[in-house]
Structure 1
Amino acid sequence: MFSVPLGSDGARLCPLEPWHAEEFLAHLDRGREFIGQYIGFADRATDLDSSRALLRAYADKAATDTGRIYGIWTGDTLVGGVLFRRMDLKHGVVEVGCWLEPAGTGKGLATQAARAIIDWAVETRGAHRVEWQVKAGNLASIAVARRLGMTRDGVLREAMLHRGKRFDLEVWSVLAPQWRAQHL
């Protein structure tokens, strides 16, 4: 398994796989309400079977090259992750997202991890457009999009149904030429 270092404190990014289901569930349990404010899978992975099923769905997406999920570890503790919610490499478009439990916040981990997978998508896989969709009002996630050099494309009004309520969804993006220009 590969591991990408994130910063100087020993944090690392690694694939999240079905065999991580117990650790993933423990992570969600530690931050379920915090994560669940914005991320739907916090409400879906509530026991070992549903945790394993969610990770299995992403393993299936990885196998079909339509999505991937990665964990962010500090030491031996899973504190968050990043993912390709969808990958359409035929058209050069991927959607990236992130989440953290409270113990992982304020350290730049989401930005560093997202930067690593965006680099891979653009430089290795040839993605042209990287999207970031975020519930309006999720200021921490919007700040990550800004730090990544993304541009706010617009708002999809009431496009997100979360916990029985409709919310606006902001769409942010960066194009491959812009991404490369930032990293010269």
Structure 2
Amino acid sequence: MYAISLGDDGAELGPLEPWQADEFLAHMDRGREFIGRHNGLPDIVTDLESSRAFLRTYAERAAADEGRIFGIRTDGRLVGAVVLRRFDVRQGVAEAGCWLEPAAVGRGLVTRAVRRIIDWAVEERGIHRVEWWVSAGNAPSIAVARRLGMTREAVLRESFAYRGERHDEEIWAVLAPEWRAAREAARAGD
């Protein structure tokens, strides 16, 4: 399996596949409560079969060119993931998402990983618009959108029912020309 370095700290980004269901379930068990504060995945991935089914769904999306999932590993251990939940090359629109278990928080892993998948989506696949849908109460995820240079475009009031409550969702996005300009500005500053 291949992995892409996320920096000098040994963090790597690589695909997640159904044969890794045991590892994925163990990761979800370590982060279940923390991840579940804003993400329904821990309610879906509860045992080995549901773990395998979730990863199989993304394998099928990848095969259909409609989505991707990539694991974030530190020292070889799965600690989080980034996804392209929606991926529509014809329309040029993708939606990115993420999660981490608590031990991996605060190291910039998600920002670095999402930069990699946005670069790939924009430069390799011709995606024009990458969206980031986030619960309005999820300050760390909103901070990632800001660090990525995304613009908050909308607040969908009480649009998401989760664990018996209605939550506002924010939609953030970056367009390919903005992404490229920010990347070039960062390179010029190095």
TM range (shorter): over 0.9
Instruction: Among all aligned residue pairs of Structure 1 and Structure 2, give the percentage whose two residues are the same amino acid.
Output: 64
**Paired residues, what number?**
184
Cα distance in structure 2, aligned partners of 1:77 and 1:32: 16
Aligned to 1:103: 103
- The separation in 1 between residues aligned to 2:2 and 2:96, in whole angstroms, is 19
Q: CA deviation at 1:164?
A: 2.3
- Give 1:88 shift: 1.1
Q: In the aligned structure 1, how far is the partner of 2:150 from the partner of 2:63?
A: 28
The alpha-carbon deviation at position 182 of structure 1 amounts to 0.7
* 2: CA distance, partners of 1:10 / 1:52: 27
Q: Give the residue type in structure 1 aligned to 2:61.
A: K
**2-side partners of 1:69 and 1:163: how far apart?**
24
1:71-99 per-residue CA deviation (whole Å, 9 max, x = no partner) reads 00001211001000111110000000110
Task: Detail structure 1 runs of 4+ shifted over 6 Å in the superposition.
Answer: none
Partner secondary structure for residue 66 of structure 2 = coil
What's the secondary structure of 1:9's corresponding residue? coil
Distance 1:61 1:28 in 2: 21
1:112 matched residue in structure 2: 112
Q: What do the CA deviations read for 1:24-44 (whole angstroms, capped 9, x no partner)?
A: 100010010100111111110
In structure 2, the gaps of 5 or more residues are: 185-190
* 3-state DSSP of counterpart to 1:183: helix
In structure 2, what is the equivalent of residue 40 of structure 1? 40
Match of 2:6 in 1: 6
- CA–CA distance in structure 1, aligned partners of residues 162 and 53 of structure 2: 20
Q: Structure 1 stretches of 5 or more lacking a match?
A: none
The one-character-per-residue Cα deviations of 1:5-63 (angstroms, maximum 9, x if unpaired) are 01211110000110110011000100101001111111100000000000000000000
Aligned with 2:46: secondary structure?
Answer: coil
- Residues 1:131 and 2:137 are matched in the alignment: no
Query: 1:16 is matched by which residue type in structure 2?
Result: L
Determine helix, strand or coil for the equivalent of 2:156.
strand
Residue 176 of structure 1 deviates from its aligned partner by 0.2
> Following the alignment from structure 2 to structure 1, what is the Cα–Cα distance between the partners of residues 42 and 62?
21
Separation (CA, whole Å) in 2 of partners of 1:2 and 1:159:
38
